Each structure stands twice: as C-alpha cells, then as structure tokens.
Structure 1
C-alpha cells in the first residue's frame, strides 16, 4: 500500500492519480478534491479527498 501524505501538490496528485494537470484542476474546481491555495503558484490538495476518489462507499 502506498503511503500518501496529508497534503500533496498538483504535480504529486498528477503522479498518484496518473492524470493530467487539467484533470486535477477539474477535480478541484468541481469540488471532488479539497484544496488550499497557499499562494498564486502554490496549491495543496487534501490527501483524504484524494483517497475518497478511490473509495466509492
């Protein structure tokens, strides 16, 4: 099992989800990924919301 930190950056989320940055952004803006925009160029994504994408129940 992969150890996922509490927060991940967009590039890290892309690697874990195996998808493009535009898809990660779509998941963020649609509310499926919880995120916190630290600065204009630095966004942290909550790993728990990322885990929920894989757990349908």
Structure 2
C-alpha cells in the first residue's frame, strides 16, 4: 500500500482502545508507516479486536 497525501490523523478503536498511528503503520496488517487511516482498504480491521474501520474515531 502506498503512502498518501491524506491527513495523517491518529484514529482510536472504540471497541478496544487500539490507536492507529499513521507514523507507525500496522506491522501485523502489512501497512507501512506513512499510510493515512483514510487510505486503508475498507476491509482493514483493528489488529487487536478485529473491529471494522467504522468503529474508529479521531484520537
């Protein structure tokens, strides 16, 4: 997945509290650092509790 020019905002899972930080990416999901939350595929899920993207709020 390529990096994007979208804003790099942290997003928090409302189910388990996991915080997606674009500066770190998601190593478990194969997401490299620099990928904005909005650029993640629609089927990406929280690496901790498997919640969908719609369960995340701006952190």
Structure 1 length-normalised TM: 0.28
More helix by share: 1
Q: Point out the structure with the larger strand share.
A: 1
TM-score by length of 2: 0.27
